[in-house]
Amino acid sequence: MEKGMNLTLIVWRQKDAKSAGSFATYAARNVSPDMSFLEMLDVVNEGLALRGEEPIAFDSDCREGICGTCSCVINGVAHGGQKATTACQLHMRKFRDGDTLTIEPWRAKAFPVVKDLVVDRSSFDRIIQAGGFVSVRTGGTPDGNAIPVSKEDSDLAMDAAQCIGCGACVAACKNASAMLFVSAKVSHLGLLPQGKVEQDWRVLNMVKQMDAEGFGACTVTGSCEAVCPKEITLDNIARMNRDYGVATAKGK
Amino acid sequence: MKLDSKIPSGPLGQKWDKHKFDLKLISPANKRKFEVIVVGSGLAGGSAAATLAELGYSVKSFCYQDSPRRAHSIAAQGGINAAKNYQNDGDSVQRLFYDTIKGGDFRAREANVHRLAQVSVSIIDQCVAQGVPFAREYGGLLDNRSFGGAQVSRTFYARGQTGQQLMLGAYQALSRQIGLGTVKMYPRTEMLDLVVVDGHAKGIVVRDMVTGEISSHAADAVVLATGGYGPVFYLSTNAVGCNVTGTFRAFKKGAAFANPCYTQIHPTCIPVSGDHQSKLTLMSESLRNDGRVWVPKRKEDCAKSPGSIAEADRDYILERKYPSFGNLAPRDISSRAAKEVCDEGRGVGPGGLGVYLDFNDAIHRLGAAKIRERYGNLFDMYERITGENAYQQPMRIYPAVHYTMGGLWVDYNLMSNLPGLFVLGEANFSDHGANRLGASALMQGLADGYFILPYTIGHYFASSKQTRPKADDAEFRKVEEEVAARTKRLLSIKGKKTPRAFHRELGKLMWENCGMARSKASLELNLKRIPELREEFWNSVNVAGEAGDLNQTLEHAGRVADFLEFGELLCLDALTREESAGGHFRVEHQEEGECKRDDENFAHVAAWEFQGEGKAPLRHTEPLVYEEVHMSTRSYK
């Protein structure tokens, strides 16, 4: 049997959006390498609760890397640095006995801290509300096979559509830019014939909302792509810039 | 209590069309005067809220997650069934209907299932129009694959993330309505009770999960799309936030809870690694298209490395027991086969709780690249969790709680016995009977939300002629006070055990005694132990933090408190159903290890009515009348 690891956690604690936050240090003892990172935090929280201290608030839900809820920066890297992996899927066997881990929330003006490691990402929802959809009603749609889509376009659209809206791209960017997130949706819909109809309007509206939410400009450093758990690529940003340019040139 | 299923008259294939014509309408100008509350934003809730708003109703949508995009429908991997017959392989509405009824072990309502098969084709059209990137063939048309329990290829899919893509389609439709101002969205808001006025569901009491504020919302109808109750077993493939509170609170306000004992244990999940485990991860059933399930023939071989075990010493359990379906046998049957060999001591991996899912043959036949193309993301996920490479050694899998077929009782209009309370998706009971086939959950969630409720809810408004109360009426105030008092009580106990410790303990009782095999003795043991555990909870739970704050321990405690009551109801239902059917396997009722139904005495829905605190609930029945289908023995041999 492998022996449990002992780790030191330096965790951001912040009571609410209005209060100032600070780091606090906790010991995580006898951590199994088979635990996920968030299960390790669960165990630490159980200990805190029984000692009468308040557990560390952190977001998570599906714990299988698809809902996009979990969101923390581990040792300076959004989701902790394992390729194509969310924090909930990061397992403790990736760490070593005696490691010190610094755990912080996403930090961005457009993602205010709600408490501890929990942030408010409703700005992402508002960007989708501004145009991240195809304007069809329920019913009255043509047969599914009446709209052929080339396999290539369909695959590219699917690559972009895999975005889970976690916000790691924003957290990793020194400008807190949301370009990767926005461009993934613009690409997903713009690559498909169903979405092309509204593409000019869509890209202009979504970018406008992105700016209004206070996200920064793209730095072109690719830090977003590096941390993206779904491996959304910078190609999408290029595609969005082109679509934006075309829509602007058309005077839309 | 009268359980009137309101199934329309006429031939099965014409019931839904006839019913749609008979339903009363609300004029376009009047729709905005009706307010609808939708709780839950998954496939069922999201599609319903978007569609009702498109029709002109005023909609409020609630979810506990930080965004409506995150509901657990998003985690569904495999696909969605539809009777399109694009593959020209003999599929039809009738065949999808029959497969679903048979898959449910003849315990679902015939008319509902037929309607589901009928509307399945419209769902695909709708999703394609929304821009859901379903898999395509090189000619540009939609691709299909076969899926557990079906002999035709009728499953539409988007890589291994079909649920995600359908979910985002519904979320985008919902977002469009939020942007237009026709839906008011309340994320991070948890429904803690239902408000009933003069016998009609008229609103809900919620807690703002950021500020802790408790408030009321009144409406003309309440739609619950709050998902299933899998986490009553603590470990399941559900999200950690999934809970029974919405439907259980409605039960305590008079809504009948139907067939809670029908729980689905999915055969292909990653085995448990230790007590710290917070959830189990599903490996899509689609893997069984190319993976072969086996264990060593001899116990002594179990500890050996799988590659060193000769072909002749392997027992390919599903191929041996079910030659015509082989590794694609339905979920309940495959799960029991795995449990059976592990009980015999032939399980593999730590604790002997696992069977191999081996891709070696498929890799030799098709090449590793093809397997990577088909299942790459699943193999990656398996490696992240277990640290093992499934291209080089077989996966280890074990069954885990996945889906719950039981739920609030609804009639053909998806309305519960409480007028004005509609229940959609996994939260209701109606379409899957005692076992759900793969790729049917997404179909049902979207059928309910896009194509059924939007027709039936108008009929309720037009025929019930109810008035809408105000959210500060006395009944709402009373329920708010009850909710606040309960919260205060949870925080004041300050005992020695955390809510998670209680949840884990309940889960162990449920899994051991009410899981894949249930007996009179094991169920009676649970009916004794669960009330004891519940009493201990209310005397010694420790809920850290405060009420007026984001407090995840408090949220969890409230959900565990409901599970501690609901678990008892589930066991009671399982004890009373003296037969085996689908996911409900009573060891006393079997024939050569297979389910033995008792159609004479149990061809009915069991719906439980709350009788008050500390009193036994009352069991009502709705007979299942099959007009077209003959109830046969379900065989996959």
The DSSP code sequence of B161-227 is: -HHHHHHHHHHHHHHHHHHHTSEEEE-SEEEEEEEEETTEEEEEEEEETTT--EEEEE-SEEEE---
Contact call for B171 and A128, based on CB within 8 A:
yes
- A249 has pLDDT over 80: yes
Contact call for A138 and B124, based on CB within 8 A:
no
Contact call for A61 and B276, based on CB within 8 A:
no
Contact call for A144 and B387, based on CB within 8 A:
no
Q: Tens digit of pLDDT for each residue in A75-123? A: 999 999 999 999 999 999 999 999 999 999 999 999 999 999 999 999 9
Tokens of B531: 């009330």
Contact call for B66 and A150, based on CB within 8 A:
no
pLDDT band at B264 (very low <50, low <70, confident <90, very high): very high
- How much is the average pLDDT of B247-258? 98
pLDDT band at B284 (very low <50, low <70, confident <90, very high): confident
CB contacts of B240 in chain A (<8 Å) are 60-63
Of A60, A63, A66, Cβ closest to residue B161: A66
pLDDT for position B150: 81
Contact call for B278 and A39, based on CB within 8 A:
yes
Residue of chain A minimizing CA distance to B82? A144
pLDDT for position A2: 52
- How much is the average pLDDT of B530-543? 98
Q: Report pTM.
A: 0.97
The alpha helices in B515-584, defined as continuous H runs, are 520-540, 552-576
Between helix B43-55 and helix B453-464 the angle, nearest 10°, is 60
Q: Tens digit of pLDDT for each residue in A143-162? A: 999 999 999 999 999 999 99
- How much is the average pLDDT of B79-92? 97
Q: Among B451-460, B528-537, B623-632, which stretch is predicted with the lowest mean pLDDT?
A: B623-632
Of A62, A90, A142, Cβ closest to residue B239: A62
Of B125, B210, B501, Cβ closest to residue A144: B125
Residue of chain A minimizing CA distance to B543? A49
- How much is the average pLDDT of B3-23? 97
Of B136, B277, B381, Cβ closest to residue A151: B136
Measured in angstroms, the CA of B612 and the nearest CA of chain A are apart by: 33
Contact call for A151 and B158, based on CB within 8 A:
no
Measured in angstroms, the CA of A189 and the nearest CA of chain B are apart by: 6
Of B139, B178, B239, Cβ closest to residue A129: B178
Mutate which: B64, B67, B159, B543, vs A, most A CBs within 10 A: B67
- How much is the average pLDDT of B32-57? 98
- B149 has pLDDT over 70: no
DSSP A33-55: TTSBHHHHHHHHHHHHHHTTPPP
Q: Tens digit of pLDDT for each residue in B469-502? A: 999 999 999 999 999 999 999 999 999 999 999 9
Arch. (CATH architecture) of A5-115: Roll (3.10)
Q: Where are the domains of chain A?
A: 5-115, 122-249
Contact call for B133 and A157, based on CB within 8 A:
yes
Say if CB A73 and CB A106 are below 8 A apart.
Answer: yes
Q: Tens digit of pLDDT for each residue in B358-405? A: 999 999 999 999 999 888 888 999 999 999 999 999 999 999 999 999
Tokens of A86: 């969310």
Q: How many CB pairs under 8 A join A and B?
A: 226
CB contacts of A136 in chain B (<8 Å) are 126, 129-130, 173
Residue of chain A minimizing CA distance to B131? A194
Contact call for A150 and B140, based on CB within 8 A:
yes
Catalytic residues of B: 331
CB contacts of B282 in chain A (<8 Å) are 64
pLDDT for position B593: 83
Provide the mean pLDDT of chain B. 96
| Distance (Å) of CA B18 to CA A222, B9, B356 | 58, 9, 50
Contact call for B128 and A144, based on CB within 8 A:
yes
Measured in angstroms, the CA of A91 and the nearest CA of chain B are apart by: 7
Residue of chain A minimizing CA distance to B119? A139
- How much is the average pLDDT of A219-246? 97
Of B122, B176, B239, Cβ closest to residue A135: B176
Say if CB B287 and CB B378 are below 8 A apart.
Answer: yes
Tokens of B312: 């002749």
Biggest CA–CA distance in chain A, Å, is: 67
Residues pairing with A24 in the sheet:
A11
Q: Is the dihedral angle over the CA atoms B60, B486, B479, B253 positive or is it negative?
A: positive
CB half-sphere exposure, B574, CA atoms < 13 A: 33
- How much is the average pLDDT of B98-113? 96
Of A68, A84, A128, Cβ closest to residue B172: A128
Percent of chain B at pLDDT exceeding 70: 100
How far apart CA B489 and CA B447 sit, in angstroms, is 41
CB contacts of B161 in chain A (<8 Å) are 66, 162
Provide the mean pLDDT of chain A. 97
Mutate which: A133, A147, A182, vs B, most B CBs within 10 A: A133
pLDDT for position A1: 45
How far apart CA B114 and CA B94 sit, in angstroms, is 8
Contact call for A38 and B278, based on CB within 8 A:
yes
Contact call for A158 and B159, based on CB within 8 A:
yes
Measured in angstroms, the CA of B107 and the nearest CA of chain A are apart by: 30
How far apart CA B179 and CA A198 sit, in angstroms, is 16
| Distance (Å) of CA B81 to CA A179, B144, B282, B299, B440 | 35, 9, 19, 39, 6
Going by C-alpha positions, the residue among B244, B212, B208, B189 that lies closest to residue B63 is B189
pLDDT for position A251: 85
Arch. (CATH architecture) of A122-249: Orthogonal Bundle (1.10)
Measured in angstroms, the CA of A20 and the nearest CA of chain B are apart by: 16
Mutate which: A128, A166, A236, vs B, most B CBs within 10 A: A128
CB contacts of B182 in chain A (<8 Å) are none
Type of residue found at B287: L
Arch. (CATH architecture) of B266-400: Alpha-Beta Complex (3.90)
| Distance (Å) of CA A28 to CA A39, A102, B253, B386 | 11, 12, 44, 21
Measured in angstroms, the CA of A73 and the nearest CA of chain B are apart by: 18
Measured in angstroms, the CA of B577 and the nearest CA of chain A are apart by: 32
